[in-house]
Structure 1
Amino acid sequence: MPKLDLGQAPRKTGSIYPEPYAAQMEGRSSLRLGQLAGLTQFGVNIVTLEPKAVASLRHWHLREDEFAIVLTGALVLVEDEGETAMAPGDCAAWKAGAPNGHRFINRSDAPASFLIVGSKAADEVCTYSDVDLKLVLEGEKPRFTYHDGSDWTGPRDLAPKGETE
C-alpha cells in the first residue's frame, strides 16, 4: 500500500445524529483515512475538535472495539467514572459490549485532534448514555431508536443527564 496522501482523505463534518443532537457537533471534523485506503474491516479517522467542541454524544458500542490516541492539543475524556485530562500520546480503549459511555471534549482555546480506530461491524448497536437514543445499524443502514427499542421520533428530554458544559 502506498503512502496515504492526507490531502486526498474525505473530510466529514458534523454527525449523522438527528436534531437537536447534530447541532451539538459543530466544530467537529474528521479525516476518513480508512475510507481513503479502502479498508473494510476497521475504520481509522483523525478527528479534529475546534475550541469548545465535542467529538460525540457519550456512547458505547455493543459489537465494536474502539482505540484512541491524542495527537495534538488538550482534550478531556468523559466516561462513566468521571473525567480524565488527555494530552498528546495519551491513549484510551473501549471493549465492545462494555457499557462505559465515553466522549472527548475540547475545553481549551486551541484546536485538538485524536486518531480513532474502531471495528466496522455491519450490524451494530450504539447506545447514547446521557440521552434516550440508540443507533441501530442493520446491514450498515442506520436507524435511530429510544433506549427501549421503539422508533425515535424526537427527543423526549432535551436536558442531558449528569454532565454540564
Structure 2
Amino acid sequence: MPEKISALNADGISEPFAAEAAPLEVFSHGERFGSSFRHLSSFGGGDHVGVALEELVPGKEKNPSHYHMLEEEHAYILEGALTLKLGARNYVMKTGDYVCFPAGQKVGHAFFNHTDAPCRYLIIGERNPNDVIVYPESGRVSVRLTGEGYGKAATMDYWEGIDASAPDAKARPGLAQE
C-alpha cells in the first residue's frame, strides 16, 4: 500500500491521522545543528497555522538563535528536556513546559538538547506570508513579503557567520541562569 501524501480523503476532507503518518524529515548542518520533524499541519491540509512534531537529539541545536517581527511561535515539550536559549539567559524546559515567542519580541531564541536523551516537542506558528526574521548571532536579516525573499537574506547564505562546529558546553549550560 503506498504512503499517503496527506490526510485529505478523495473528497478533499481532512481526516484524523496518526502523527507518524506525516513524512519524517531529517535536517543537519555541521556538528552543531540537527533535528527531525513531521509537518503535521501540512499533512493534515492546513495552511494558516503551522504545527510540527520535532525531535532534538542529544548535543544538537535546532537552528541559529532568531526572532520574528511578524510571526508568533509557540513550543510545548512532550517528552524529555532541553535548554531554551532566550537572549542572554538559558532555561531548562521539560515535559509539560510551554513557551510563547510573541511577534516583535526582539530577543533571539534557540533550542539545544543538553541531555543524553532525545527531546520531543510541538512547535506551532503562523504561516504569515510576510515576516522579518532576525538572526542576532550572524547579523542576518531575512525579509519575506507575500512569500518572496528580499533584502540581506538574498545576498547572505543562511549559514554565513554561524559556527556549526560542536557546541561549547560552557556556552550552553543546562541550568537556568538567573
> Structures share a fold, TM > 0.5?
yes
Does residue 4 (structure 1) correspond to residue 8 (structure 2)? The answer is: no
- Once the two structures are superposed, residues 120-146 of structure 1 have per-residue CA deviations (whole angstroms, 9 ceiling, x without a partner) of 111211111211212222332445726
Does residue 104 (structure 1) correspond to residue 111 (structure 2)? The answer is: yes
Counterparts of residues 56-135 of structure 1 (less than 5 Å): 56-135=63-142
* Paired AA for residue 83 in structure 1: N
Does residue 25 (structure 1) correspond to residue 25 (structure 2)? The answer is: no
* Paired AA for residue 6 in structure 1: A
The structure with more radius of gyration:
2
Change in CA separation of 1:107 and 1:4 when aligned onto 2, cut-off 3 Å: same
Question: Does the Cα contact within 8 Å between 1:32 and 1:46 map onto a contact in 2?
Answer: yes
Does residue 151 (structure 1) correspond to residue 151 (structure 2)? The answer is: no
Change in CA separation of 1:144 and 1:90 when aligned onto 2, cut-off 3 Å: farther
- Once the two structures are superposed, residues 16-37 of structure 1 have per-residue CA deviations (whole angstroms, 9 ceiling, x without a partner) of xxxxxx43423x0111001111
> How many percent identity over aligned positions?
25
Q: Report what 1:18 is aligned to.
A: none
Question: Does the Cα contact within 8 Å between 1:144 and 1:152 map onto a contact in 2?
Answer: no
What is the count of residue pairs matched by the alignment?
A: 153
Q: Counterparts of 1:144 and 1:48 in 2: how far apart (Å)?
A: 31
* Paired AA for residue 134 in structure 1: V
Change in CA separation of 1:156 and 1:104 when aligned onto 2, cut-off 3 Å: closer
Counterparts of residues 25-44 of structure 1 (less than 5 Å): 25-26=33-34, 28-44=35-51
Q: What are structure 1's unaligned runs of at least 5 residues?
A: 16-21
Q: Counterparts of 1:13 and 1:106 in 2: how far apart (Å)?
A: 16
Does residue 136 (structure 1) correspond to residue 143 (structure 2)? The answer is: yes
Q: Counterparts of 1:91 and 1:154 in 2: how far apart (Å)?
A: 28
Runs (4 or more) in structure 1 with deviation over 3 Å come to 141-144, 153-160
Q: What are structure 2's unaligned runs of at least 5 residues?
A: 1-13, 165-169, 173-178
Name the TM-score, length of structure 1 as normaliser.
0.81
Name the TM-score, length of structure 2 as normaliser.
0.75
1:14 to 3, 19, 27: 27
- Once the two structures are superposed, residues 105-127 of structure 1 have per-residue CA deviations (whole angstroms, 9 ceiling, x without a partner) of 10111111110100111121111
Question: Does the Cα contact within 8 Å between 2:15 and 2:44 map onto a contact in 1?
Answer: no
